Structure 1
Amino acid sequence: MFEHIQHLRTSSLHVSSDTSDSDSSDDDDLYCSSCNKSFVTKVGLNQHLEFSAVHNWCFICSRDFKNANALFNHSKSPVHNAPTHRCPFCTKMCKVPSGTAHHIESGACHHITRHQVTAAVHSMGIVPTISVSRRLEGPYVPPTIVHYSATEQSFNGKAFQCYLCPRSFKSLSSLNTHLNSAAHDDDEFKCPKCKRQFALISGLIQHIESEVCGAARISQVEDFASDLAGRFSRALKL
């Protein structure tokens, strides 16, 4: 197990090629927020992530895990596989089912919106239910879609402040992107096992893919996603 982890950490195939001492990088790219420590070079940061007992770092995904076993399980997951999941509406290939769902929700495919995706999935009547309880009180009624547009008045002297949450952004366009993202959407879906709730179907699928609550095995997730994609494409009637 640990030999495999060591390979992920040190192999030149998995570590960023931008590792020269002479290479420059933004300060944020050379900072470990977990340890509150800055580094002069990318090499120094990578060595810290590799050898520090605090980290169990995947260099492919730039993700930290709570222990070596969690990293090992991650390394065995489909996330490092070649893309094999095709979008039902275009030629886009993704590595995991949640990636396909996110691709469609993002509006990158035929300008489908995440709201259309949510409405289509709710209309399927999936059993066991994955809709949050309030959606079961009568037929599903699509919510009113609100489009936000912040102005220069959002600037607080240092950054552009979101008026719905504490986050702030360097540019007005970034704030408006945030406001019209799923960041403030209501939770629409729930895990049928642990009942954790998610705003988007891609979030639920990603949760099940992680096997964190044992709702399903990876193979079952892929079968479910394949069936969902077929039914979903018919529901959208593209």
Structure 2
Amino acid sequence: MTTFYYCIHCERSFASENSLRQHVRGSPRHNHCDDCNRDFADPTGLKDHWAHNSAHHYCQICDEHFDDDDELEDHHDSEHIHYRDCNQFFQSEDGLHEHRRQSPRHAYLYCSPCRRMFQSEHALRNHMRSSAHQRKSVVCPGNSCGSMFVSTSALVLHLESGVCPSGATRSAVNRFVRQHDRNHVITDPSRLITGRGRHTGCGIDEEVTWYATRAAWNGDAYECYLCHATFSSLRALNQHLGSPRHQRKIYICRWEGCQQRFSALSAFCQHVESEKCGVMRFNAQARRIVGGMLLGVRTIN
């Protein structure tokens, strides 16, 4: 008995299964997916299948197939305005900008004037407080300086870095704060060194200075003997040791529910400026302390 293979769509018989398959694949009346061995009623159905089936890596706009998702994404990024977070395409950069600006999913992380997305609300707030959007109105009162900054924390970081012509350093800033914050509004006396030494009213006026020699080489890199971080050069290791990383956290945010501690005044100022806990909005005494320190910073030398 002879077996025939029949195409219902074309109402044709074929002598073998292979002949039927060749017909389906080659006939313009069929819309066949070779990979999945499926036939679709029209070209639109076939293209929708390619576009939405994870087994295919298909660009609908170009009607082109790719080997994998990475190649497809690279194509989207180079040839089209594609927003991966939403998997949407836009005809222009302005269209993408309006999407980010108006969408509740993105607007709270998007700087519209700069057309930049940020990873968190905190990062966006920091950007909005930066020189990109704020006028530099804070003047360094250090002798022979006069540099301008956008915030108190930026000014304090300048003083702590040791680059100010006034000769200010992080140690000098810390001594100044210890002398003026006698009620411990922003300093924690329990973290200050006690014992013999030159007193300032809130502990010993000294800091530990760490430094490393070539003995810190462990065979592969220069290793910090305090935290075991590694560095490619002795200079980089000593820069790390000279940073606030291993200093006592003498600054404290005393706002209820916060109590976060910091080893540098600039870090404390960044914290209060971020308004994470609201201490500067509601604690007038903390505001006066920070403001008073800056008025008296000319005494740092």
TM-score by length of 1: 0.64
Structure whose residues are more often strand by fraction: 2
1:122 counterpart letter in structure 2: R
Once the 2 structures are TM-superposed, how far is the Cα of residue 231 of structure 1 from its aligned partner? Answer: 2.6
* Match of residue 230 from structure 1: 295
Residue 208 of structure 1 is matched in structure 2 by: 272
Structure 1 unaligned regions, length at least 5: 1-39
Q: 1 CA distance for matches of 2:297 and 2:203?
A: 16
Matches within 5 A, 1:109-148: 109=164, 110-125=166-181, 129-134=185-190, 135=192, 139-148=202-211
SS across alignment from 1:216: helix
1:166 matched residue in structure 2: 228
Partners of 1:126 and 1:51 in 2: CA distance? 54
Q: Deviations over 1:103-131 (max 9, x none)?
A: 00111113322111101101103656111
Distance 1:71 1:136 in 2: 35
The answer to whether 1:197 aligns with 2:296 is no
Structure (1 or 2) with the larger CA radius of gyration: 2
Query: In 1, distance between residues paired with 2:293 and 2:207?
Result: 25
Superposition pairs for residues 33-112 of structure 1, below 5 Å?
51-52=84-85, 56=109, 64-66=118-120, 70=122, 73-77=125-129, 80-89=133-142, 90-109=145-164, 110-112=166-168
Amino acid corresponding to residue 293 of structure 2 in structure 1: L
Superposition deviation, residue 71 in structure 1? 5.3
Q: Structure 1 residues 64 and 128 mapped into 2: Cα distance closer, same or farther (>3 Å)?
A: farther
The answer for the alignment partner of 1:13 in structure 2 is none
Q: Cα RMSD (Å) of the superposition?
A: 3.8
Q: Relative to 1, partners in 2 of residues 1:131 and 1:162: Cα closer, same or farther, differing over 3 Å?
A: same
Amino acid aligned to 1:182: P
- For the residue of structure 2 that corresponds to 1:121, the secondary structure is helix
Following superposition, the deviation at residue 136 of structure 1 comes to: 10
Structure 2 residues not aligned, in runs of 5+: 1-73, 87-104, 195-200
Contact 2:171–2:207 under 8 Å retained in 1: no
What CA distance in whole angstroms lies between the structure 2 residues aligned with 1:168 and 1:192? 34
Q: 1:228 to 1:51 in 2, by over 3 A?
A: farther
1:98/1:203 contact within 8 Å kept: yes
1:205 maps to a residue whose letter is C
Report the Cα offset of residue 172 of structure 1. Answer: 1.5
- 2:64 maps to none
- Partner amino acid, structure 2, of 1:88: P
- Output the CA distance in 2 between the equivalents of 1:75 and 1:107: 25
Distance 1:165 1:147, change over 3 A: closer
